[in-house]
Structure 1
Amino acid sequence: MKVTPDTPGADDPGTGRRIGLDVGTVRIGVAVSDRNAKLATPVETVARETGLRDRDKGDIDRLLEIIEEYDAVEIVVGLPRDLKGHGSVSVKHAKEIAFRLNRRLTGAGKTIPVRMGDERLTTVAATTALRASGVSEKAGRKVIDQAAAVEILQSWLDARAAYNQELHP
């Protein structure tokens, strides 16, 4: 089944930091943008605790703390798809984390949009970049999720900038 990510620019919240998430079954990589939404940088890797049928656990709480800490105006969760645009089993996990964050933010009276961003090839790009910078595979495992989150968020930021450029050349 085809899975379609959200499109940057639609209902854009304007200036402010964005948070990018690379959701895995074991870890969640986190990245943040600058206030002008131009550059994504790594933040941390959060250990995944909440399963699909669990109540929210410490990982969800930590992600909400990061969102608050950076005063984020938008959250971009990577949507894992293959090259043909079909969803993998990981789509369920990504959508579940996005749903839980949205529910908790809404419940707290916050209107921070939680989007699904295209994640195709982000882990491959992140791994290649880490190897090129001389990071060993073992050391890379500790930061690969953050690097993938940076790739997801930077891709979103670049598409957002292109969208805004089309509107205001």
Structure 2
Amino acid sequence: MITTAAPDFAAQFPNGGRLIGLDVGTKTIGVATCDRNWSFATPDTTIIRKKFSADLETLKSALTAHAVIGLVVGLPLNMDGSDSPRTQSTRAFARNLLPLGLPILLWDERWSTAAVERAMIAADVSRAKRAERIDSAAAAFILQGAIDAMTRA
């Protein structure tokens, strides 16, 4: 099941559980996890994209290691909320994850990378370290936004 409605997604997990957040790019996939109570999201890793089958195997390892019950995938909408070619690519990526059998929430990721980069600059993180960590940190920003919306409902 793929949804864009956080309350519908959250309703599937009355007892909480670990979620993974994904920031899907053309070259990398940022990965973040959250705690079982949906209090906070933490950057995890960055997957260097290859073929989808290789990306999926790497992702399956992370899902198993963290005992994940659902996925939050960042949806790159245009500023006016309309779809872009990247949006369509991300939707296709999410559809390709359906065989995993986990519910998927598509979450608006507008400004996520920019917000994370500004925070890293303010924290005086070097350019090299920012490049290394930006994708997983953006995934954590996306996941945190989704879990905040689900726990407010």
Shared fold (TM-score, shorter chain, > 0.5): yes
Task: Give per-residue Cα distances to partners, 1:103-135, cap 9 Å, x unaligned.
Answer: 2x13xxxxx201211111101111111111111
Aligned partner of 1:150 among 136, 140, 147: 140
Aligned residue for 1:9, secondary structure, equals helix
CA distance in 1, matches of 2:93, 2:61: 15
Q: Which residue of 1 aligns with 2:22?
A: 21
Aligned residue for 2:63, secondary structure, equals helix
Coordinate RMSD, CA, aligned: 1.4
Q: Which residue of 1 aligns with 2:5?
A: 7
Q: Which residue of 1 aligns with 2:126?
A: 136
User: Percent identity of the aligned residues?
Assistant: 36
CA positional deviation for 1:41: 0.1
Aligned AA for 2:94? A
- Which sections of structure 1, spanning at least 5 residues, go unmatched? 51-55, 107-111, 164-169
Task: Give per-residue Cα distances to partners, 1:25-46, cap 9 Å, x unaligned.
Answer: 0000000000111100011000
Aligned residue for 1:99, secondary structure, equals helix
Aligned AA for 1:132? A
Task: Give per-residue Cα distances to partners, 1:14-71, cap 9 Å, x unaligned.
Answer: 2101100000000000000001111000110001113xxxxx4211111111111111
Q: Contact conserved, 1:22 with 1:30, CA < 8 A, in 2?
A: yes
Aligned partner of 1:100 among 74, 96, 101: 96
Aligned AA for 1:33? C
Q: Which residue of 2 aligns with 1:38?
A: 39
Aligned AA for 1:87? D
Q: Which structure has more helix as a fraction of its residues?
A: 2
The structure with more radius of gyration: 1
Q: Which residue of 2 aligns with 1:86?
A: 82
Aligned AA for 2:53? K
CA distance in 2, matches of 1:141, 1:89: 24
1:117 and 2:113 matched = no
- Which sections of structure 2, spanning at least 5 residues, go unmatched? none
Q: Which structure has more strand as a fraction of its residues?
A: 2
Q: Give the length in aligned residue pairs.
A: 148
The ranges of structure 1 where at least 4 consecutive aligned residues each deviate by more than 4 angstroms after the TM superposition are none
TM-score by length of 1: 0.82
TM-score by length of 2: 0.90
